[in-house]
C-alpha cells in the first residue's frame, strides 16, 4: 500500500494519497515512511507548521539515512517557501515611497515568565536561534533592535505584536519634525508658567503654556568625558578618555504644540527669573537642579515619567549610521562628538511620537 502512496504523490493525486495514508496510519502508525508521507501531505496541503513538526520528529527519532535526507529536503522546501513569501510581503510593504523612509524598530520589556515562549516565536519570525532570541528580549527598559525601511520594520513589528511580543516602530523623520526649545529659566511658574528659551535657530524668546499641556517628563544623564593620564600594566603613561561626571537633562513634552522643552543642569540660569532656592553661598548647581526638578514634578501629577534612558542607550550607541541622521539639539562643549547626545534625542523623540497623544 505504501507503493500506492508513492505513486499517488508522483501523480499529484493527493486525495487518493490521503485515503491510503489514513489506512496505513491505523495499520502502522510508527512506520517512519508512513510518517514522512503524512508530513508531505501536510506540506502540499499548505499546513506547513504540521509538516515541519513531522520532519523534525523524523530527524530526531529515525536512523534511516534516506528518510533523514528526505526530511531535511522537506524542511528546506518549507524554508524556501517562507522566505519567498516574506520577500513578497516586504516588497509590498515597501512599495509606497513613504514606507522606504529610514526608521527604527524597538522591543519593549517583557515579563520574565513569558520570555521562554516569546523567544520561540521571536526566533521563528526573525529567523534566528531561540537562545539568541531570548537574550534579545528585554526584561526592563527598551531595546533598540534594528533600523531600515519603515515599511519593512512595520511588517516585522506587526508579526511580533500578533505573537504577543511588545514593540513599536517609528520614522526618523517623525522625530526630526519635533521642535526642541532650550530653556534658560522660568519667568513665571504658577499658575501659568512662562519660560525664556532658545529655538533651533538659537533665537531667544519666551513661551507660555499650561501645566496640563505636559504629557511626559523625560529624564536622562549624559556623560562628561575627560582625557586623563593613566598608568598601564607596564607602568607606562597612557592617555585615556574616561567619564568624569554627568549632565542631567529633563524634557517636558507638549504634543499639542509639537514641541519639547529641554532643561539641563548646567544650562539653566538659576540666578535669573523666579527664585528656585533661597540665595546662599552654599548653593550648588546640584542643589538648585534638584529643587527645580521637585518643583516641576509637583506640578505634573498627570505627566508620565520616563527615566530608563541608560539601558536603552546601551543598545543603540553603536548604531552610528542611524544616530548620524538625528539632530541631537544638545549643545554641550565636547572635544569630540559622542553618540550619547543623539541617543537621548532618539529616546525622548520615540516617547513623544509613540506615547504622547
pLDDT digits (tens, 9 = 90+) for 43-58: 889 888 899 999 999 9
Q: What percent of the chain has pLDDT over 70?
A: 95
As a whole number of Å, the end-to-end CA separation of the chain is 65
Pair (79, 101) in one structural domain = no
Give 114 or 6, the one with higher predicted confidence.
114
Asked whether 208 and 193 are in contact (CB, 8 A), the reply is yes
* Other Cβ atoms within 10 Å of 36 Cβ, number: 22
* 107: pLDDT strictly greater than 90: yes
pLDDT, average across residues 237-253: 82
Is the bond into 13 cis (omega within 30 degrees of 0)? no
Pairing mode, strands 102-107 and 167-171: antiparallel
Which of 174, 199, 221 is a domain's end point?
A: 174
Neighbours of 122 (CB within 10 A): 26
What pLDDT is recorded for position 12?
A: 86
The whole-number pLDDT of residue 49 equals 87
The pLDDT value recorded for residue 357 is 63
Q: Is the model more confident about 172 or about 281?
A: 172
pTM of the model: 0.78
Distance of alpha carbon 127 from alpha carbon 82, whole angstroms: 10
7 and 134 together in one domain:
no
What integer pLDDT is reported at residue 130 of this predicted model? 87
Does residue 156 share a domain with residue 15? no
Q: Dihedral of the CA atoms 51, 55, 58, 63 (nearest 10)?
A: 150
Whether 223 and 118 map to the same domain: the answer is: no
In sequence order, the 6+-apart residues with CB closer than 8 A to the CB of 146 are: 104, 105, 153
- Say yes or no: 227 and 284 in one domain: yes
Task: Indicate whether 42 and 123 sit together in one domain.
Answer: no
Q: Using one digit for the tens of pLDDT, what is the confidence trace for 295-306?
A: 999 999 999 999
Task: Give the confidence band of 86 by pLDDT, cuts at 50, 70, 90.
Answer: confident
**In 125-275, which ranges are E strands?**
143-149, 167-171, 179-188, 194-198, 204-208, 216-231, 237-254, 259-264
Crossing angle, helix 32-44 and helix 14-27, to 10 degrees?
150
| Residue 139 sits in the same domain as residue 229 | no
pLDDT of residue 97: 73
Whether residues 160 and 280 share a domain: the answer is no
Q: What per-residue confidence (pLDDT) applies to 220?
A: 97
State yes or no: pLDDT of 3 exceeds 90.
Answer: no
Please tell me the predicted confidence (pLDDT) of residue 237.
60
Which pLDDT does position 233 carry in this prediction?
Answer: 65
Residue 229 scores a pLDDT above 70: no
Residue 283 pLDDT: 78
Give the structural domain span for 33.
Answer: 2-91
DSSP β-ladder status, 143-149 and 179-188: unpaired
Can you give the pLDDT at residue 2?
A: 79
pLDDT at 10: 86
Of 327, 343, 323, 322, nearest to 201 by C-alpha is: 327
Residue linked to cell 508513492:
6
110, pLDDT greater than 70: yes
**Shared domain check, 343 and 264:** yes
Q: How confident is the model at residue 204 (pLDDT cuts 50, 70, 90)?
A: very high
Q: Regarding predicted confidence, which is higher, 91 or 336?
A: 336
Following DSSP, what letter does each residue of 119-155 receive, concatenated? HHHHHHHHT--HHHHHHHS-SSS-EEEEEEEHHHHHH
Same domain assignment for residues 278 and 335: yes
* Radius of gyration from C-alpha coordinates of the chain: 29
Statement: residue 216 has pLDDT above 90: yes
Supply the pLDDT for residue 221: 96
Considering its fold, how many domains does the chain have in total? 3
Q: How far is CA 40 from CA 12, 50, 63, 233, in A?
A: 11, 10, 19, 64
Report the pLDDT value the prediction gives residue 8, as an integer from 0 to 100. Answer: 86
Kindly state whether residues 112 and 250 are assigned to the same domain.
Answer: no
- Average pLDDT of every residue of the chain: 90
CB 305 within 8 A of CB 351: no
**pLDDT of 281 higher than 70:** no
End residue of a domain, out of 131, 157, 174: 174
pLDDT band at 227 (very low <50, low <70, confident <90, very high): low
What pLDDT is recorded for position 226? 73
Percent of the chain residues topping a pLDDT of 90 = 61
Final residue before a domain boundary, out of 154, 174, 194: 174
The whole-number pLDDT of residue 354 equals 92
- Could you give phi then psi for residue 32, rounded to 5 degrees? -65, -30
156 and 234, same domain (yes or no)? no
Q: What's the pLDDT band for 230 if we cut at 50, 70, 90?
A: low
3-class SS of residue 197 = strand
Amino acid at each position: 500500500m505504501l507503493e500506492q502512496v508513492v505513486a499517488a504523490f508522483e501523480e499529484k493525486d493527493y486525495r487518493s494519497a490521503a485515503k491510503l495514508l489514513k489506512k496505513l496510519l491505523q495499520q502502522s502508525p510508527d512506520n517512519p515512511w508512513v510518517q514522512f508521507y503524512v508530513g508531505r501531505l501536510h506540506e502540499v496541503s499548505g499546513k506547513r507548521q504540521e509538516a515541519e513538526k513531522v520532519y523534525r520528529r523524523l530527524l530526531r527519532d529515525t536512523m534511516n539515512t534516506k528518510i533523514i535526507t528526505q526530511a531535511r529536503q522537506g524542511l528546506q522546501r518549507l524554508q524556501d517557501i517562507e522566505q519567498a513569501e516574506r520577500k513578497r510581503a516586504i516588497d509590498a510593504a515597501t512599495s509606497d515611497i513613504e514606507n522606504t523612509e529610514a526608521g527604527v524598530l524597538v522591543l519593549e520589556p517583557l515579563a520574565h515568565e513569558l520570555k521562554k515562549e516569546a523567544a520561540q516565536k521571536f526566533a521563528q519570525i526573525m529567523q534566528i536561534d531561540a537562545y539568541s532570541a531570548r537574550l534579545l528580549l528585554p526584561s526592563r527598559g527598551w531595546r533598540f533592535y534594528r533600523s531600515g525601511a519603515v515599511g519593512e520594520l512595520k511588517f516585522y513589528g506587526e508579526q511580533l505584536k500578533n505573537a504577543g511580543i511588545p514593540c513599536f516602530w517609528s520614522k526618523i523623520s517623525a522625530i526630526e519634525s519635533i521642535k526642541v526649545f532650550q530653556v534658560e529659566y522660568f519667568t513665571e511658574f504658577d499658575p501659568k508658567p512662562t519660560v525664556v528659551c532658545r529655538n533651533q535657530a538659537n533665537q531667544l524668546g519666551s513661551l507660555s503654556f499650561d501645566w496640563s499641556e505636559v504629557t511626559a517628563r523625560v529624564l536622562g544623564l549624559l556623560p562628561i568625558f575627560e582625557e586623563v593620564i593613566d598608568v598601564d600594566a607596564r607602568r607606562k603613561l597612557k592617555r585615556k578618555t574616561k567619564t568624569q561626571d554627568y549632565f542631567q537633562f529633563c524634557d517636558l513634552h507638549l504634543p499639542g504644540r509639537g514641541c519639547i522643552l529641554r532643561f539641563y543642569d548646567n544650562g539653566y540660569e538659576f540666578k535669573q527669573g523666579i527664585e528656585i532656592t533661597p540665595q546662599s553661598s552654599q548653593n550648588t548647581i546640584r542643589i538648585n537642579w534638584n529643587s527645580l526638578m521637585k518643583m516641576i514634578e509637583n506640578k505634573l501629577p498627570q505627566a508620565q515619567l520616563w527615566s530608563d534612558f541608560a539601558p536603552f542607550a546601551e543598545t543603540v550607541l553603536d548604531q552610528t549610521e542611524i544616530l548620524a541622521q538625528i539632530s541631537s539639539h544638545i549643545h554641550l562643549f565636547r572635544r569630540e562628538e559622542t553618540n550619547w547626545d543623539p541617543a537621548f534625542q532618539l529616546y525622548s523623540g520615540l516617547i513623544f511620537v509613540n506615547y504622547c497623544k
